[in-house]
Structure 1
Amino acid sequence: MAHDHHGHHHPHADHGDRQVAFAVAINVLLTVAQVIGGYLAGSVALIADGVHNFSDAAALVLAFGARRIARRAPDAAMSFGYGRAEVVAALVNYVALILVALWLLAEALGRMANPPEVEGWVVVWLAGLALVIDLGTAALTFRLSRESLNIRAAFLHNLADAGASVAVILGGVVILLWDWRLVDPILTIGISAFILWHVVADLGPVLRILMLGAPRHLDEAEVAARLGGLAGVEEVHHLHLFEIEEGRAALEVHLVLAEGADFAPLIAQAKAMLAAEFGLAHAVIEPETRAGGCADPEGACLRR
């Protein structure tokens, strides 16, 4: 099963890697242009947008490396395989985004009292360039985003960047028309808040996998009820649902069987049902009886 899973995306892997590499390159170049332009123009909002773009480039670099690691076959050290490399990379990306957002927030609040002069035209042109590149990067990663939590996070960040670039463009226009310099730190605060909101919304699935949480689409009570309803099963306990990696759920459970029940066909029936009804192809089932084995004496099986 593990071999099949890790080979699933292989035909498109090299093409996908090239797309990610190109997206990284244009985002790094954009970051350099925005940070230098923001410094020369005196716009912290433009620098904020540039730093966010750099965080997306770093996210794509991590995603690129994690994609390659995740394709490695299981071995003695990692018997479940390396698929969680992408989940770990996603966590690193989100933590970095939180730190970036807090730093930008502090910078913007410091400028609220005395907003500096801002070159509106530089801001408008560079933010416009950023908007084009953000939309282009999102287009490059759109197909891959349906296959990987990590790439999906990068794709959503690029869409968020596009929105931030639109805000920066509007800010540059306001400065050009009315010379209202306070709009620059205000926009920076808005961009920072948007980044934090975005991270909070996306971090849940990553933490859920790393904390061995049950997949959202599976109801533990429903799974237990279906197992308990099989002929010959008297009790279900020690049931655990978790995700080995994104999109690859697993189950372990103890089934107390009626005395004299033939466990081999019953276990085969249970596994077939779990695969067909719940998509659980990886199930570890331990058969027990009241007379022997665990049989959950006073919850002893549930104590870790």
Structure 2
Amino acid sequence: MPHDHHHHGDDHHHHHLSADAGDRRVVAAVGINVLLTVAQIIGGLIAGSVALIADGVHNFSDALALVLAFGARRLARRGADAAMSFGWARAEVVAALVNYVSLIIVAIWLMAEAVGRLIDPPGVDGWIVVWLAGLALVIDLGTAGLTWRLSKESVNIRAAFLHNMADAGASVAVIVGGILILLYDWRLVDPLLTIGISLFILWHVAGDIRPVLRILMLGAPMRHEVPEVAAHLNALPGIASVHHVHLWQIDEARNSFEAHLVLEDGADFTAVIARAKAMLAEEFGLLHVTLEPETQAAGCADQEGACPEGAAL
């Protein structure tokens, strides 16, 4: 047993080392994006390009998205306290929602701008736009590279990562559009590409925002449904019926489950609960479990009448 405890301590130490390395990556990404914003706005003023200034402002929203992601990441590592008994990990989920909503706003704004340009295509902005868009592309891809590994383990960082990929796409559009305008004076290419990028952003957000909303709405984990878990409990010896069944996600990594178990007459409640918890851990990976044993004679002690609510389960 002491050996197990020591091993866990080592894991915890490694986790913090990797977390600090991840934080450094996010800080570097924020710094790069702020520098890019300054370069684009100055370049836009010199070239007389509103598009470049707008792209700079969009890049600044990227930096803010990363700051938000970084802050939530730090907050999520705080332990449980009297006010937050589950800890602060859900801060990352809230930050992801804010980032996705801002992405939707940016995409709609870009589309509105593009429609205006379709009606009245802008004049040529010159090579400075193409070069700065090229710089933006390199920086966006660099930032995305810094956050890519982290994005696989955090819905919050994933939202910021998607922000950057959307920006990289926008930079490609500006480069392609700028070259086509310079070569063929085909001015409609810029607004058409912008509309395409906006639709791409919205399509991505539509898929990625669902698990975030599911966690915030106390939904069951995507892998499991309540009736399935309840059916497994019902099948265990010593359990007559199951009700008041609730399964939800605390955050990305942890799930919570609670239920009332009506025991068969003469069943030993300690053995039944131990068996139920072992099954829930093995079959469904549920470790944060609260089970309340009840007898058929005494009935449910809940005051809210929650017992009949799950009777079918």
Global fold match (TM > 0.5):
yes
Number of the residue aligned with 2:124: 118
Letter in 2 for 1:235: S
Letter in 2 for 1:86: E
Describe the SS at the equivalent of 1:163: helix
Report Cα offsets for 1:153-177 as digits up to 9, x if no partner: 2223323332332222111111011
Q: Distance in 1 between the 2:80 and 2:90 partners? A: 12
Contact 2:215–2:250 at 8 Å: present in 1 too?
Answer: yes
Q: 2:167 aligns with which of 156, 161, 170?
A: 161
Number of the residue aligned with 1:278: 284
- Structure 1 residues 232 and 303, CA gap change in structure 2 (3 angstroms): closer
After TM superposition, the runs of 4+ consecutive aligned structure 1 residues lying more than 6 A away are: 3-8
Q: What displacement does 1:301 show?
A: 2.5
Work out whether 1:95 is the aligned partner of 2:101. Answer: yes
Q: Distance in 2 between the 1:293 and 1:36 partners? A: 73
Contact 1:296–1:302 at 8 Å: present in 2 too?
Answer: no
Number of the residue aligned with 2:300: 294
Q: Residues 78-93 of structure 1: matches in 2 within 5 Å?
A: 78-93=84-99
Q: What displacement does 1:36 show?
A: 3.9
- Structure 1 residues 216 and 8, CA gap change in structure 2 (3 angstroms): farther
Q: Distance in 1 between the 2:144 and 2:69 partners? A: 14
- Structure 1 residues 279 and 243, CA gap change in structure 2 (3 angstroms): same
Work out whether 1:146 is the aligned partner of 2:152. Answer: yes
Deviates more, 1:274-283 or 1:218-227: 218-227
Q: Distance in 2 between the 1:196 and 1:48 partners? A: 19
Q: Distance in 1 between the 2:188 and 2:45 partners? A: 17
Q: What displacement does 1:109 show?
A: 1.9
Q: Percent identity?
A: 72
Contact 1:257–1:288 at 8 Å: present in 2 too?
Answer: yes
Q: Distance in 1 between the 2:270 and 2:160 partners? A: 46
The TM-score normalised by the length of structure 2 is 0.87
Q: 2:43 aligns with which of 37, 51, 55?
A: 37
Q: What displacement does 1:210 show?
A: 0.4
Q: What displacement does 1:303 show?
A: 5.4
Number of the residue aligned with 2:265: 259
- Structure 1 residues 79 and 300, CA gap change in structure 2 (3 angstroms): closer
- Structure 1 residues 130 and 231, CA gap change in structure 2 (3 angstroms): same
Number of the residue aligned with 2:187: 181
Number of the residue aligned with 2:110: 104
Work out whether 1:243 is the aligned partner of 2:249. Answer: yes
Q: 2:208 aligns with which of 202, 206, 230?
A: 202
Letter in 1 for 2:137: L
Q: What displacement does 1:124 show?
A: 1.7
Q: What displacement does 1:38 show?
A: 4.0
Letter in 2 for 1:187: L
Letter in 1 for 2:236: L
Describe the SS at the equivalent of 1:245: coil
Contact 2:124–2:182 at 8 Å: present in 1 too?
Answer: no
Deviates more, 1:158-167 or 1:224-233: 158-167
Contact 1:24–1:61 at 8 Å: present in 2 too?
Answer: yes
Unaligned stretches of 5+ in structure 1?
Answer: none
Unaligned stretches of 5+ in structure 2?
Answer: 1-7
Q: Distance in 2 between the 1:261 and 1:101 partners? A: 60
Contact 2:103–2:163 at 8 Å: present in 1 too?
Answer: no
Q: Distance in 1 between the 2:18 and 2:208 partners? A: 26
Q: Distance in 2 between the 1:53 and 1:198 partners? A: 19
Describe the SS at the equivalent of 1:108: helix
Contact 1:230–1:270 at 8 Å: present in 2 too?
Answer: yes
Describe the SS at the equivalent of 1:129: helix
Task: Note the aligned Cα RMSD (angstroms).
Answer: 2.6
Q: What displacement does 1:42 show?
A: 5.2
Deviates more, 1:137-146 or 1:281-290: 137-146
Letter in 2 for 1:20: V
Work out whether 1:72 is the aligned partner of 2:78. Answer: yes
Deviates more, 1:149-158 or 1:47-56: 47-56
When the two structures are aligned, how many residues end up with a matched partner?
Answer: 302
Describe the SS at the equivalent of 1:230: coil
Describe the SS at the equivalent of 2:250: strand
Q: What displacement does 1:44 show?
A: 5.3
Report Cα offsets for 1:165-215 as digits up to 9, x if no partner: 222211111101111122222222222222222222211111110000111
